[in-house]
Chains A and B, each alone.
Chain A
Amino acid sequence: MLLGILSCKETIERLDDYLDRELSPQEAKLVVRHLKICHQCAKRFAFERELVEGLRRRLHRIEAPADLLEKIRTSLEAAEMDAASHGNSNPPRGVLKDNQGSL
């Protein structure tokens, strides 16, 4: 960086962090300063930003099946009944499967 101006390489290195709003305000200012004077980098940034937005639009949310909550409710009730039948207020050990006790 010379006289507070980033090079193209330094700017592109900050591309993801800038687009994801993960740069500090000072760093973001430096990027903006470069983009104002470099048409090529500005085009690249605009492209990558629109690409992420477009991918997000295409990955639109698909509704959960209508009966999913009911299925979960049934399995939770079964887990509770199982725990009660074993005289344990906690759910059965089998519920935790391979990672016993951890999330």
Chain B
Amino acid sequence: MPDSPRAAQFETLLAPILGSAYGVALRLTGNRDDAQDLVQDAALRAFAAFETFEPQTHFKAWFLRVLVNCHLNRARSASRRPQTVALDDGEDALLFEAARREGLMARGVDPADALLARFDADLVAVALSDLPNDFRVVATLFLLEEMSYEEIALIVECPVGTVRSRLHRGRKLLQKALWELARERGLVGKP
């Protein structure tokens, strides 16, 4: 435990949520070294602004807000220009229709389970990390932390409606990325 009471208090709040913070950072950055670096950077920034944390509020949400901001700032600095590529969301119900084509709708079979059995954890992680940043952030908080739209909106500092639409598009983009990766790896047939 640090000598300074301020640092000790900060560490007491940070330690229980460090696993969550690292998990989110890992999905946002796509690799362990960058994830560690992001969490450390976020911890320094959060500590610098610790006076603004209101003790009766949720430290985890507050810290994740700092972490997400750090991540987006880094991404912006790295690219120096906004993403201008038009995103093709892919068709509605892409994996549902794919499961049908793959013959997974037979009675007694859970088609989602049967399709997911072909996607390992690495494929899902890569597909998630392929999403553009705005979509990756909301999808990560939704899938990994199981947060509500309102909780996500507080972290990414945008209206709930924006979270709803990003999550809706993010799901479609994730399905498309999963399918394309699975095809590239020869795990599924052609659509």
Majority-rule SS of B interface residues: helix
Cα distance, A60 to B3, chains bound together (Å): 35
User: How far in angstroms is the closest Cβ of chain B from A40?
Assistant: 10
Point out residues on B near A: beta carbons under 8 Å: 2-4, 6-7, 10-11, 14-15, 18-23, 26-27, 32, 36, 39-41, 43-49, 52, 62, 65-66, 69, 73, 77, 92-93, 95-96, 99, 105, 110-113, 115-116, 119-121, 124-125, 128, 142-144, 146, 148-149, 164, 167-168, 171, 174-175
Cα distance, A91 to B44, chains bound together (Å): 9
Report the interface size for chain A: residues with CB under 8 A from the other chain: 46
User: How far in angstroms is the closest Cβ of chain A from B150?
Assistant: 9
**A-B contact sample (18 more), CB < 8 A, given A47-B112, A95-B48, A98-B73:** A22-B148, A47-B99, A48-B112, A55-B124, A68-B18, A69-B11, A69-B18, A71-B36, A72-B14, A72-B40, A76-B7, A76-B44, A91-B47, A91-B48, A97-B41, A99-B69, A101-B49, A103-B69
Point out residues on A near B: beta carbons under 8 Å: 12, 16-17, 20-22, 43-44, 46-52, 54-56, 58-65, 68-69, 71-73, 75-77, 79-80, 90-91, 95-99, 101-103
